[in-house]
């Protein structure tokens, strides 16, 4: 269970805004729900901004009430919708966004999302007199400064459930299955899934891949009767096509691999209990930090504690745990 901070309130707020941006992740709705009801209990009005920073620029928002967030905690995706807004990289557009907030009487903003979302939040906080808090929400769990992010646990379990079913066919036909999971720049998802499913091999973007050597190693192990799961977990990586290229090399080695790309199935679905609790704690904590006078910070999970982490120390940095991948490699042997 997370230990929630108890910062002392030093200011009052009349209205705050909340948006979700970037890739959606299971648990976003739970965070929105907790934020809205925590704010309402403090007498603060809440405005939900549709379609992330794009909706902020176009003044696309609506007032949220307690009933607005009823029966959403179990739903995947985000009721506020989301997208990626290239225009927000322009300082002039950020000035326009700040003006929209001020025109609507919104004194503070909570931004829920991944690295791009948190970067936009940092820019807005630095350039304009608006309190901004970030909430980490990404299935990649690659945000620096926090051990956990909303949506990661659900994505791992979604991929694991699919692989457990694929394994039945892999074993029945004594065939290798290359299962591609999300992770363009980060291998956290692939690594956790690889450990949990007992994969024969896990490939991640952080480690250089020699397709020929990997194919030869797998084929040789199969000829010797080693390796029982038939499952190879592959992170999609920044360069598409790794899974297909590996399958082609395996065929040249006499194997008959099959490819299964899980894709966006990992983003959807009902969030796990873990993600619902994490999201609820982070959403409520974001409001409490705003009342305590904080800005330009992210609500981070470090061990069992929720803390305030400066956005300046977080954006542009990728989290990587080589020891976890070393464990993956040990378990493959």
Tell me: the pLDDT tens digits for 95-125?
A: 999 999 999 999 999 999 999 999 999 999 9
For 16-35, give the secondary structure using H, E and C.
Answer: EEEEECCCCCCCHHHHHHHH
Q: Report residue 185's pLDDT band, with 50, 70 and 90 as the boundaries.
A: confident
CATH number, domain containing residue 217 = 3.40.50.460
Catalytic residue annotation: 140
Same domain, 253 and 282: no
The 10s digit of each residue's pLDDT in 259-317 is 999 999 999 999 999 999 999 999 999 999 999 999 999 999 999 999 999 999 999 88
C-alpha–C-alpha distance, residues 204 and 198, integer Å? 16
* Residue 203 clears pLDDT 70, i.e. is over it: yes
Provide DSSP, 83-118: ---GGGGSHHHHHHHHHHHHHTT--EEEEEESHHHH
Tell me which residue range forms the domain holding 226.
153-267
- Note the pTM of the prediction, 2 decimals: 0.94
pLDDT band at 333 (very low <50, low <70, confident <90, very high): low
Asked if residue 102 is part of any domain, the answer here is yes
Task: Indicate the angle between helix axes 28-41 and 273-291, nearest 10 degrees.
Answer: 40
- The pLDDT of residue 223 is above 80: no
> Is 244 part of a structural domain of the chain?
yes
Domain annotation covers residue 323: no
Picking from 250, 267, 284, the residue at the C-terminal end of a domain is 267
Statement to judge: residues 205 and 114 lie in one domain: no
Domain tally for the chain? 2
**With contact defined as beta carbons under 8 Å apart, do 231 and 198 qualify?**
yes
Same domain flag for 141 and 279: yes
Q: Is the same domain home to 278 and 140? A: yes
Clarify whether residues 113 and 201 are in a common domain. no
Cβ atoms 34, 280 nearer than 8 A: yes
Q: Is pLDDT of 229 > 70?
A: no
Query: In which band, very low, low, confident or very high, does the pLDDT at 156 lie, cut at 50, 70 and 90?
Result: very high
| pLDDT over 90 at 210, yes or no | no
Percent of the chain, pLDDT > 90? 76
* Residue 277 belongs to domain with CATH number: 3.40.50.450
Judged on CB neighbours under 10 Å (0-12, 13-18, 19+), 148 is buried
Sheet of 201-203: strand order equals: 201-203, 231-235, 177-181, 258-261
Same domain, 69 and 146: yes
By the 10 Å C-beta count (0-12 exposed, 13-18 middle, 19+ buried), 211 is classed as middle
Residues 251 and 215 in one domain: yes
Question: Would you say residue 319 lies in a domain?
Answer: no
CB within 8 Å of 120: residues ≥ 6 apart: 21, 53, 85, 88, 94, 111
**Alpha-helix runs per DSSP H in the chain:** 28-41, 52-57, 91-103, 115-127, 152-173, 188-197, 211-223, 242-252, 273-291, 322-332
* 140 plus 249 within the same structural domain: no
Of 239, 267, 295, which residue sits at a domain end? Answer: 267
Same domain? For 45 and 144 the reply is: yes
Q: How confident is the model at residue 172 (pLDDT cuts 50, 70, 90)?
A: confident
Tokens coding 301:
């999970």
Domain presence at residue 243: yes
User: 136: part of which helix (H) or strand (E)?
Assistant: strand 131-136
Claim to verify: residue 158 and residue 209 sit in the same structural domain = yes
Average pLDDT over residues 30-53: 98
232 shares a domain with 115:
no
Q: Do 85 and 57 contact (CB within 8 A), yes or no?
A: yes
Residue 123 inside a domain? The answer is: yes
């Amino acid at each position: 269970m997370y230990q929630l901070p108890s910062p002392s309130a030093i200011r009052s707020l009349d209205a705050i805004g909340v948006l979700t941006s970037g890739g959606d992740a299971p648990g976003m709705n739970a965070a929105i729900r907790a934020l809205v009801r925590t704010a309402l209990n403090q007498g603060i009005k809440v405005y939900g901004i549709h379609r992330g920073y794009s909706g902020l620029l176009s003044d696309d928002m609506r007032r949220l009430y307690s009933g607005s967030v009823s029966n959403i905690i179990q739903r995947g995706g985000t009721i506020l919708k989301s997208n990626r807004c290239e225009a927000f990289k322009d300082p002039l557009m950020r000035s326009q966004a700040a003006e929209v907030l001020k025109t609507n009487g919104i004194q503070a903003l909570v931004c829920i999302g991944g690295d791009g979302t948190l970067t936009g939040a940092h820019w807005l906080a630095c350039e304009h007199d608006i309190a901004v808090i970030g909430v980490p929400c990404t299935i990649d769990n690659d945000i620096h400064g926090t051990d956990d992010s909303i949506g990661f646990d659900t994505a791992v379990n979604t991929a694991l459930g699919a692989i457990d079913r694929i394994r039945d066919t892999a074993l029945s036909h004594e065939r290798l299955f290359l299962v591609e999971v999300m992770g363009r720049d980060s291998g956290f998802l692939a690594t956790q899934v690889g450990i949990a499913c007992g994969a024969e091999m896990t490939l991640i973007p952080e480690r250089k891949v020699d397709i020929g050597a990997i194919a030869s190693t797998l084929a040789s192990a199969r000829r010797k009767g080693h390796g029982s799961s038939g499952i190879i977990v592959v992170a999609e990586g920044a360069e598409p096509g790794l899974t297909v290229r590996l399958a082609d090399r395996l065929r040249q080695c006499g194997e008959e691999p099959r490819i299964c790309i899980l894709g966006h199935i990992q983003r959807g679905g009902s969030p796990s209990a873990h993600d619902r609790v994490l999201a609820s704690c982070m959403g409520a904590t974001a409001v409490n930090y705003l009342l305590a006078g904080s800005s330009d910070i992210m609500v981070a999970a470090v061990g069992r504690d929720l803390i305030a982490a400066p956005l300046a120390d977080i954006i542009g940095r990728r989290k990587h745990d080589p020891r976890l991948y070393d464990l993956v490699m040990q378990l493959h042997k």
